[in-house]
Amino acid sequence: MAKATREAYGEALKKLAANNPNVVVLDADLSGSTKTSEFKKVSPERFFNVGIAEQNLIGTAAGMSLAGKIPFASSFAMFAAGRAFEIIRNTVAYPFLNVKIAATHAGLTVGEDGASHQAIEDISLMRSIPNMTVINPADCIEAEQAVLKAAEYVGPVYIRLGRMAVEDVYSSSYQFEIGKGVELKNGNDVTIIATGIMVQKALKAAASLNAQGIDARVINIHTIKPIDKEIIIKAAIETRAIVTVEEHSVIGGLGSAVLEVLSDTCPVPVRRIGVMDTFGESGKPEDLMEKYMLTEKNIEDSCKEIMKMK
Amino acid sequence: MKYDDLKLTAQNLRKNILTMIYEAKSGHPGGSLSAVEIVTYLYFKEMNINDPHDEGRDRFVLSKGHGAPVLYSALMEKGFISKELMGTLRQVNSKLQGHPDMKKLPGIEASTGSLGQGLSIANGMALAFKLDKKENRVFALLGDGEIQEGMIWEAAMLANHYHLDNLTAILDHNGLQIDGKNNDVMTVEPIDEKFKAFGWHVIKADGHDFESLEKAFEERKKITEKPALIIAETTKGKGCSFMEDKASWHGKAPNYEEFCMAMEEIGGGLNG
């Protein structure tokens, strides 16, 4: 059943409420949307609403971590990564505090709320900060495990979650590991490196390419920082052509991260699919994905084009 | 006299501050010197802190992080960090960063420097201690220019909402900031009324008088269910006549003549 990754966040928080007494959850008046309300239901004494005040959300979480707690702080990606950027940078990441920022409603698929709420810069912002781990799960199975692993890991983590329901990419036997990319489909003609909710589209594009005689490899980079260099370099060596796919600006996100790895090691032609240095707008998520060229067809076309550049 | 020991410690703090900033040839003497008695009182009278690693210790957050030299000086007098570090302030590879880095030294409870964030950090600590029913208290030192940051008021709201009576903020009210007088740059007054309106208990004190500070901190102990703010009236650059009440000494190091003059005024001769 299709579910939004934020739903998996709520489920994971319920498990943490039961299993980890040090976990506390903070929200900035969006608990019903971010799903931190699930934690509040089972552990109200460890849930703190700070009101509409995202800077204070992060600063308070930082203080709680300094007193031994494992705080999960949530808001929409725009306000968590955007509004509170400098507090995350100076007060959380610089002293390597054990604060988890779980940001929902990332990307264009926020939909009808429009550009003011569509964070397409958050990966770029968060990954530019030293000490930060940045995770962008593909489906609910991965999202739930990512949240649980983030609670175990000691240090700052940014987890990017979506509003829109997505199909499962993984089965329940999947084992998520921070920093370890996953090859979902083998292939030797071209590699599609995708992250977040674009992974399912990458898999569908690869299946369609397969029917046309093109053998595409598909890699899920759920951890954008620290990035799995090995899996990327291996794909570059073996397929000599790469397409990156993300629901994020083409500036500074997964595409940029892949280019940084490859320009240092194994430069091959790369095509980046993402939002092309522009703001989003209101609309149904699927209409926006169409208009901003984030479809399976776009992935397929890019694979064919990049293969010509080999 | 009752406060002789504290006065002597304060004198040492001032000498440490000036020595560090003089040797670094950069730093913030004005706002470090204005906070000397406040920090001395906290570390040598008020706070339960004899070991920077003891879990039961009270916490001090220097929200006005540019006052780092006053904190370093107190930690040196406490014996938490070595006085040999004094000549390294602001130099490459030093543990004494321009603004406090908690990863580099014991006794620094939070990395600060970007203004407006320390009260939120202190709130978080206080919330966690309350949640765990622990006795630890939290103290945050704010600058008066710093409260122009909006985040301070987000934090002020939260401290009241969660009834943080284990939290005390102290405002180093020297009236000056980089560009001049607070109220010429951006009106901050009436600070007491503003915090009262946010649900805080507000106490006024003379920030250079230990008797007055003691009265304020004792009054604070009687207040339950509320965060408290002690507005400590201070003089920027206190103790060096040529620095006193001058915004130009916010972030400037003294030259050799000025340094000698300042050390003589403070008394006790040159350090080391």
Instruction: Report ipTM for this prediction.
Output: 0.96
Interface probe, candidates B55, B58, B117, B153, chain A, greatest A C-beta count within 10 A: B117
Section A167-182 average pLDDT = 97
Instruction: Single out the catalytic residue among A54, A121, A142, A144.
Output: A54
User: Which H or E run contains A192?
Assistant: strand A190-194
Interchain proximity B120–A87, CB inside 8 Å: yes
Total-model pTM: 0.97
CB contact under 8 A, A66 and B125: yes
Asked if the C-beta of B129 comes within 8 angstroms of chain A's C-beta atoms, the answer is: yes
Report the residue from A24, A60, A86 with minimal CB separation from B120.
A60
For A67, the closest of B119, B128, B155 (CB atoms) is B128
Respond yes or no: is residue A54 known to be catalytic. Answer: yes
Residue found by looking up tokens 């409603």 in the block = A105
Among the listed residues B168, B238, B244, B178, the one whose alpha carbon sits nearest the alpha carbon of residue B209 = B238
Chain segment A209-250, per-residue pLDDT in tens: 999 999 999 999 999 999 999 999 999 999 999 999 999 999
pLDDT digits 0-9 by tens, B231-251: 999 999 999 999 999 999 999
Contact assignment for A56 to B155 by CB distance below 8 Å: yes
Dump pLDDT digits (tens) for A270-293: 999 999 999 999 999 999 999 999
Q: How far apart are CA A228 and CA A125, in angstroms?
A: 19
| pLDDT, position B2 | 78
Q: What is the pLDDT of residue B119?
A: 98
Cα angle at B75 between B73 and B81, to 5 degrees?
105
Q: Which residue of B has its CA nearest to A99?
A: B124
**Which residues from A are below 8 Å from B152, CB to CB?**
none
The residues, ordered by sequence, that sit 6+ positions from A310 with a Cβ below 8 Å of its Cβ are: A240, A241, A268, A269
Q: Do A59 and B124 touch (CB under 8 A)?
A: yes
pLDDT score, position B269: 46
The sign of the torsion formed by the CA atoms of A140, A246, A199, A125 equals negative
CA-based nearest residue in chain B for residue A26 = B124
Residues B243 and B262: their CA atoms lie apart, in Å, by 9
Structure tokens at A150: 């983030």
Q: What is the DSSP letter of A185?
A: E
Tell me the CA distances in angstroms from A163 to A215, B1, B255, one per residue in order: 32, 67, 59
Interchain contact, B150 vs A55, CB within 8 Å: yes
Task: Considering only the beta carbons, identify the residue of B117, B125, B150 that sits closest to A91.
Answer: B117
Q: Is A197 in a helix, a strand, or coil?
A: coil
Separation in Å, CA B64 to CA A239, B25, B42, B237, B248 = 54, 20, 16, 15, 17
| pLDDT tens string B164-201 | 999 999 999 999 999 999 999 999 999 999 999 999 99
Q: Best of A27, A47, A58, A66 to disrupt the B interface by mutation (most B CBs within 10 Å)? A: A66
Is a pLDDT exceeding 60 seen at residue A178? Answer: yes
Cβ-Cβ contacts under 8 Å for A115 (sequence gap 6 or more): A279, A280, A281, A282
Q: Are B266 and B43 within 8 A, CB to CB?
A: no
Express as a percent the part of chain B with pLDDT over 90.
96
Q: Is the pLDDT of residue A91 over 70?
A: yes
- Are A62 and B121 a contacting pair at CB < 8 A? yes
% of chain A with per-residue pLDDT over 90: 99
Give residue B1's pLDDT band: very low, low, confident or very high (50, 70, 90): low
For chain B, what is the mean pLDDT? 96
- CB-closest option in B123, B128, B136 to A69: B128
For residue range A117-161, what is the model confidence (pLDDT) as tens digits?
999 999 999 999 999 999 999 999 999 999 999 999 999 999 999
Nearest chain B residue to A53 by CA distance is B154
Render pLDDT for B68-104 as a digit per residue (tens, 0 to 9): 999 999 999 999 999 999 999 999 999 999 999 999 9
Q: What's the confidence (pLDDT) of residue B140? A: 98
A91 to chain B: closest CA residue: B111
